[in-house]
Structure 1
Amino acid sequence: MQGLHLTADCYDCRCAPGLLLDAAQLRQFVVEQTIRSGLTIVGEKFHPFQAADGSAAGVTCALLLAESHLAIHTWPERLAVTLDVYVCNFTEDNSAKANGLLDTLIVGFAPARWQTHRLQRGSGATDQTLALEQLTPHTAYGTQLAAPLAQMQSPFQRIEIADSAEFGKVMRLDGAFMTSERDEFFYHECLVHPAALSHPHPRRALIVGGGDGGSSEELLKHPSIKHITLCEIDPQVIQLAREHLQQIHHGALDDPRVRHVAEDGFAFVKDAARSPKADQLYDLILLDLTDPQSADGSALAADCYTEEFLQACRTLLDTGGALVMHLGSPFHHPQRFSQLRRRLGNVFRQVSPYTVYVPLYGALWGMAVASDTLDPRQLDSQTIASRLRERPLPELQYYNENVHVALFALPNFVQNLGA
């Protein structure tokens, strides 16, 4: 009986009506997602109901799994769906498959709001659930999360904030770990400071994404920064970060130097690049994005990884400016790392890749500074130490003059990716 039992109650579902009314459409969707999750179907039953006038009135279905079962009930008159996934973990841990299946089903039904319950059954059961993210189809990383503090479906993505024993509050978007209170400095300090310290006097910056406020907070530590444009497509991410992630942004989201733009980053940059004005050029552009494609297939930020977009960003950089972006894990995502490094090289004269281990992501993570003139690899530790004395950055937990040099010391297998 040892296993994971997941349920979800979905309300105001905005999916195609056929998913709630038509057994054949529901079967096609459910069977496809179950197979994609890696679970094994050994039997099935889909039963459509009819109203008194003979019209369709919902569907109940059950899939018998080698690992246990999936049950779904649709309530079209209420635009509601109930989901029930149970997997046995006695001889093999199927938790990642169950979590992935529930997440993709929720995405498919597109509820405006939903509630989930996660129960560890059998020996070792706790009041928390092991939340897993698929790094690849074969590898997952996760941590135990308590019941969500906040959970909603915005017009763009599922947003969840929950507490954890090791990471404090954690934000997930579409089931992918984004940031946490206790390890955010690994990512945000390394995204911001290698380029910002290499620039002699950064004044204006553009952040595409970054709705948690962590990258804004790090940039504002530089006394020369006068203006940040924060282009975040989803205002709900910013609102929930304001409410729950103060230990990450420390009020940066409401700093008067930060201008908020609730717009698709691709559209914003492309429009600005058509006829850039002097006061619209940036010393730094940070692409603080979700992955180009998440494990559940969503690709909200995919356009912002294209060569076309990178070229538009280059147009918006002032003389001596630089762009920074993450490249994914060089071990788990070598193709993505190589492809993005080559794209940057097609656009910019200088591309400086580097790596940092991010605990919440469970992997070594790749980043890069790209510029026509600025090369952070040319600054030695003495120069960085001098600049840190000139602009004393408060409360750095990861970055220092020695770390700066070490970040760009790449293992051979990373050097060879996309070179």
Structure 2
Amino acid sequence: MLLDPEQLRQLVVAQTIGAGLTIVGEKFHPFQAADGSAAGVTCALLLAESHLAIHTWPERRAVTLDVYVCNYTEDNSAKASGLLDTLIAAFAPAQWQTHRLQRGGDASGHTLALEQLTPHTAYGTRLAPPLVQTQSPFQRIEIADSAEFGKVMRLDGAYMTSERDEFFYHECLVHPAAITHPQPRRALIVGGGDGGSSEELLKHPSIEEITLCEIDPEVIELARRHLQKIHRGALDEPRVRHVAQDGFAFVQQAARDAAGPRYDLILLDLTDPQTADGSALAADCYTLEFLQACKAALAPGGALVMHLGSPFHHPQRFGLLRQRLNASFRHVAPYTAYVPLYGALWGMAVASDSIDPRDVERNTVTARLQDRAVGELQYYNADVHPALFALPNFVQNLGAHLGTYLGT
């Protein structure tokens, strides 16, 4: 079959029709070597659903197959996969590689939206056509429905939050530090434009003011309109003060202003230092200089909370940020939680010179939750609190000691 176009045609046509695909045109072209001998075949079938292409390389005893279908009126993916598998079996190769890529959406318009966790690994879910898709002065914002997660927000191609799993991230970011603090009154959130962190913080009745420093007002406005199940009105709560400013500049100014407010809690609810498509909007807020400015902006007994990335997929980032925190604070308590939307175990840390969430006993967590009437929790409780800080050995070892890559 590598040399005979008619034999190849009989196979390809029969199997294509058998797979349920519709042939509307065909071309089989044999090649000749310089001496006139047969030298392989190229074929193309035009399909009502798209096309099939085959190239044979007899000198290498190799074949390349490309089955390409669209899913505009119906999902033809199974037909394409079946045809590919049948053709591979017919050629009976000793070795083969297959790559299956989802093109466009299915019959309902849903598209598999992937985020690269690393250059080698991606995670994603199917999204309906976007409810919102806009380019702000700072980033690309998208909100879309999904079957498993409800409404999902993505920034610059990176998954941020969803209606159905937001509590994994927001409760774990907020409550370990908030419960450890005996009476948090004033908090600063850098980022957090979806309002989920603010909503969790407001469950603590001692909170008098939250400064929400979000660089992009469009994120807040779109969350207001589309992500009510996440912020539950927190974005319009009188105790939440909005500041549309770069977080790095805001914290630097707060640290320099000796007469300005000091915060019991600072939460860095940021995009990654580099997002899926290469955006580095939040990169300055992960530097040693910024973390030390955060420390200067804390009130006595205050704590900083931030996420560190995935200890498996981003071990160097996790270790680097832990080292920078260790260089800035007396107590650094890293912890982990699995976040479904991120497709990975995710790392966070509480850093302070005064308080340590690992020292808070279970009965203290229970008492504070009851005394503060912190309700509607789906993840965090008195048993989960110490469990968050029970780290596997490989996580314990990431950045445990100051090393050569501390950086700035």
Q: Taking structure 1 as the reference length, what is the TM-score of the superposition? A: 0.72
Q: Equivalent residue for 1:354? A: 335
Query: Would you identify which runs of 4 or more consecutive aligned residues in structure 1 move more than 2 Å?
Result: 66-69, 88-91
Q: 2:121 aligns with which of 139, 143, 146?
A: 139
Deviation at 1:273, TM superposition (A): 1.1
Q: Give the length in aligned residue pairs.
A: 313
Task: Determine the C-alpha separation between the residues in 1 that align with 2:350 and 2:100.
Answer: 39
Q: 1:235 aligns with which of 217, 223, 243?
A: 217
Q: Equivalent residue for 1:21? A: none
Q: Equivalent residue for 1:94? A: 101
Deviation at 1:272, TM superposition (A): 1.5
User: How do residues 163-312 of structure 1 correspond to structure 2 at under 5 angstroms?
Assistant: 163-277=145-259, 280-312=261-293
Q: Equivalent residue for 1:343? A: 324
Larger Rg: 2
Deviation at 1:275, TM superposition (A): 2.0
Task: Determine the C-alpha separation between the residues in 2 that align with 1:338 and 1:331.
Answer: 11
Does the alignment pair 1:386 with 2:363? no
Task: Determine the C-alpha separation between the residues in 2 that align with 1:240 and 1:275.
Answer: 32
Task: Determine the C-alpha separation between the residues in 2 that align with 1:276 and 1:93.
Answer: 59
Distance 1:389 1:126, change over 3 A: same
Distance 1:317 1:155, change over 3 A: same
Deviation at 1:286, TM superposition (A): 0.1
Task: Determine the C-alpha separation between the residues in 2 that align with 1:156 and 1:319.
Answer: 34
SS in 2 for 1:228: strand
Cα pair 2:105 2:112 within 8 Å, conserved: no
- Structure 2 residues without counterparts, runs of 5 or longer: 1-15, 20-64, 69-79, 85-97, 401-408
Deviation at 1:271, TM superposition (A): 1.3
Between the aligned residues of both structures, percent identity stands at 75
Deviation at 1:68, TM superposition (A): 9.5
Counterpart amino acid of residue 172 in structure 1: R
- Structure 1 residues without counterparts, runs of 5 or longer: 3-65, 70-87, 99-117
Deviation at 1:92, TM superposition (A): 1.5
What root-mean-square deviation, in Å, do the aligned CA atoms of Structure 1 and Structure 2 show?
1.9
Deviation at 1:141, TM superposition (A): 0.5
Measured against aligned partners, the alpha-carbon deviations of 1:207-230 in whole angstroms (never above 9, x if no partner) come to 000000000000000000000000
Counterpart amino acid of residue 178 in structure 1: M
Task: Determine the C-alpha separation between the residues in 1 that align with 2:249 and 2:389.
Answer: 32
Task: Determine the C-alpha separation between the residues in 2 that align with 1:139 and 1:315.
Answer: 38
Deviation at 1:296, TM superposition (A): 1.2
Q: Equivalent residue for 1:8? A: none
Cα pair 2:266 2:303 within 8 Å, conserved: yes
Q: Equivalent residue for 2:110? A: 128
Q: Equivalent residue for 1:105? A: none
SS in 2 for 1:324: strand
Cα pair 2:193 2:223 within 8 Å, conserved: yes
Deviation at 1:137, TM superposition (A): 0.4
Counterpart amino acid of residue 256 in structure 1: P
SS in 2 for 1:136: coil
SS in 2 for 1:119: coil
Task: Determine the C-alpha separation between the residues in 2 that align with 1:67 and 1:392.
Answer: 60
SS in 2 for 1:92: coil
Deviation at 1:294, TM superposition (A): 1.1
Structure with the largest fraction of strand: 1
Q: 2:309 aligns with which of 321, 325, 328?
A: 328
Counterpart amino acid of residue 234 in structure 2: A
Q: Equivalent residue for 2:294? A: 313
